[in-house]
Amino acid sequence: MASKWMKKLSEVDGYVDHDKNHYLDGVSSPSPSINFIFGNTHLIPWGASAIFWGPPKGGKSLLCNFMAGEVHKKYPDAIVLKFNTELREHFQMTPRSMRMFGIDPARYWARNTNKAAEIFDFIEKDVAAMCEEGAPIKLVIIDSITDIMGVKLANAESVNQHLMGDDAATQKGGLRRIRNTLRKYGITLLMISQERAVLDPVEVMRGKKTQMAGAFYLKHFAEYFVYVAPNESKEGRRDLLENSFENDDLKDVMGNSEREAHKIKVVMNDSTVGIAKRAGEFTFHKFHGMINLHEEAFRLGVARHVVQKPNNRSYTLENWPTKGEMAKWSSKEDFLLNISNDSSLQKEITDRVRAKDIDAFTHGIKDKDFDASATIEDEPETK
């Protein structure tokens, strides 16, 4: 008898089918360690939202652009929309940079505007109408949410009018208006927020010097909060084999070598659906985009115990290259070289890491080697 009414209830708009795995498809990046920090199935499911925040020029926009390119790569019909509230789209997204990010110009639409109505009203009304007609709009990027002008300031005659709370109220109202559109049509939202100083002296004494800028409502709205910042240490300027990212053949008038690449660290600061505090790191080359993905596979494989270390120098991988066999590498250099030269080995390692997370997400933790809190920090190695 109950099944009759449950069938009728399932026809109600907004009904949630709990038998459907909503983590099978969504937004990811080319970087395995970035995908790793999202946990679950290593992606942001359709309809969910993420905020990337951190210091200026830290890599937040880069990350969103790479994710847009990955959506185009994996979903041949998907359309990506971007609202550039800093009005820099024509400077930042040149034909060369779009190729580097993997973005398809035929399925990428961008708008320079910091007016709330031209963002939130457009999504709520125009985007929803297009989706009703079948438009495959799958990703919206707002770069940045903190540069959207408050509606009262936009209508004021002068900036001399002090409008406390205007920005926060505008962000809250706008996000509440578009939430239903995002959820109903499965549109993932990526937002960029800036970093601001913590003014509370007690929090500063506890070591918290910066925090995410923007309305407090942002913390309630999004599912993922990712801190993005360049690795300014010595390790951030070199690859795992100690090769420098600086080009000694190109110098400035002061004799300083030009740095062509650097590492960017990402940390899952908080999440309502994933595992908080996971860290990842990718290498960005200003001419070639993401590079050294094999290093990420190496670090993930070791950290997640997919790759074994029988001693301080050697590495082994069970059931590779075929089931029942065990591959062995005599050193870190040897292993990294093999991963770099063999894309199938790189994929095998990252696939196994992901499979472990999926198993834990779906069935619970069974593997004694599984450590949900582990990150991809390097293990010490004895030379």
Element (H, E) at 84: strand 79-84
The per-residue pLDDT for 370 is 43
The answer to whether residues 206 and 299 belong to one domain is no
Q: What is the CATH number of the domain that holds 169?
A: 3.40.50.300
Q: The domain containing residue 338 runs over which residues?
A: 292-365
Report d(CA 11, CA 4) in Å as an integer. Answer: 12
**Nearest Cα residue to 31 out of 82, 57, 69:** 69
The per-residue pLDDT for 155 is 82
Could you tell me where the DSSP H helices lie in the chain? 2-9, 32-37, 60-74, 89-92, 95-101, 116, 128-132, 151-155, 166-185, 201-205, 218-221, 293-303, 332-341, 343-363
The answer to whether residues 82 and 219 belong to one domain is yes
The answer to whether residues 193 and 336 belong to one domain is no
Rg (CA), the chain: 23
> Does residue 10 belong to any structural domain of this protein?
no
The per-residue pLDDT for 368 is 46
> Does residue 243 belong to any structural domain of this protein?
no
> Does residue 211 belong to any structural domain of this protein?
yes
DSSP state of 243: -
For the stretch 46-93, pLDDT in tens is 999 999 999 998 999 999 999 999 999 999 999 999 999 999 999 999
The per-residue pLDDT for 367 is 46
The per-residue pLDDT for 225 is 96
The per-residue pLDDT for 5 is 85
The per-residue pLDDT for 364 is 63
State the amino acid at position 359 in one-letter form.
D
The answer to whether residues 48 and 128 belong to one domain is yes
The per-residue pLDDT for 162 is 67
> Does residue 371 belong to any structural domain of this protein?
no
Tell me the three state secondary structure of residue 224: strand
The per-residue pLDDT for 121 is 97
The per-residue pLDDT for 372 is 44
The answer to whether residues 29 and 165 belong to one domain is yes
Tell me the three state secondary structure of residue 256: coil
Q: What's this model's pTM, rounded to 2 decimal places?
A: 0.89
Number of domains in the chain: 2
> Does residue 234 belong to any structural domain of this protein?
no
- 225 backbone dihedrals φ, ψ, rounded to 5°: -130, 110
The answer to whether residues 92 and 191 belong to one domain is yes
Q: What is the CATH number of the domain that holds 331?
A: 3.30.250.10
**Nearest Cα residue to 214 out of 147, 128, 313:** 147
**Which stretches of the chain drop beneath a pLDDT of 70?**
1, 160-162, 364-383
Q: Which residues pair with 229 in a beta bridge?
A: 265
The answer to whether residues 143 and 37 belong to one domain is yes
The answer to whether residues 35 and 154 belong to one domain is yes
The answer to whether residues 220 and 337 belong to one domain is no
